[in-house]
Copies of this chain bind each other. A is one copy, B any other.
Amino acid sequence: MTKPCVICVAITGSLPVKANNPAVPITVSEQIESTQEAFEAGATIVHAHVRNDDETPSSDPEKFARLREGIEKHCPGMIIQFSTGGRSGAGRSRGAMLALAPDMASLAVGSNNFPARVYENPPDLVDWLAAEMRTRGVKPEIEAFDLSHIHQAVAMRRDGRLRGPLYVQFVMGVRNAMPVDRDVFDYYVRTMERLAPDSEWCAAGIGAHQFTLNEWCVAGGGHART
């Protein structure tokens, strides 16, 4: 049976800025502080993006290194997941922080539309990121923005590009990608049971959608992302 994921926390995301929400942690020290609050509230995984000084997304390994150092110090035992998402850079720069060998890193295995553009994850970049993670012992969290992404992760595990068991996050509620739909959520879970029965999964939504998805996760026997 697949296992729904433990409680994980996305402290920043790549898009919100202080002008929208003054509580969004932007600097590395603000991020460490809000991770610690989540850790003390029971979160066991932190999904981390870093930002430039102008609040734009960054993939600077030096910032990721300082973030990890702070989290290791203030949140002992917390699992650290670095984002390799495409908002923070292009091409292989997206994986520059993998050299730091974090516990986990996010991995998109397909492409899809975002609200105003294509989220581009070309096959050769996906394979390169997966190989970097394999080489450095980094556990990927597969970001499933659509059904075929689950199938692709299963195919990549079958041919050795990914190590098992898989860890998959269903991402729902992004405009022009998969909406928040309970029937699809249930079908995702059934697909995991069918194709990757030893795997773990969790679900991420945008903003208020996260509360809905957390309810479905708990109904599915699991825990939640905050």
Instruction: For the complex, give the distance between the alpha carbons of A126 and B116 in Å.
Output: 11
Given contacts A148-B147, A151-B179, A177-B148, whether A111 and B119 have CB atoms under 8 Å apart is: yes
Given contacts A112-B111, A121-B118, whether A179 and B155 have CB atoms under 8 Å apart is: yes
- Give every chain B residue within 8 A of A151 (Cβ-Cβ): 178-179, 181, 184
- Give every chain B residue within 8 A of A124 (Cβ-Cβ): 116
- Give every chain B residue within 8 A of A115 (Cβ-Cβ): 123
Instruction: For the complex, give the distance between the alpha carbons of A4 and B103 in Å.
Output: 48
The closest CB in chain B to the CB of A172 belongs to: B148
Chain B nearest Cβ from A213, distance in angstroms: 16
- Give every chain B residue within 8 A of A126 (Cβ-Cβ): 113
Query: Contact residues of A with B, CB < 8 Å?
Result: 110-124, 126, 145-148, 151-152, 155, 176-179, 181, 183-184, 187, 191, 194
29 A-B interface contacts by CB (under 8 A): A110-B113, A110-B146, A111-B113, A111-B118, A111-B120, A112-B112, A112-B146, A113-B122, A113-B123, A113-B126, A114-B123, A115-B123, A116-B124, A117-B123, A118-B118, A118-B120, A120-B120, A123-B176, A146-B146, A146-B147, A147-B148, A147-B184, A151-B178, A151-B181, A151-B184, A152-B176, A155-B179, A183-B194, A187-B187
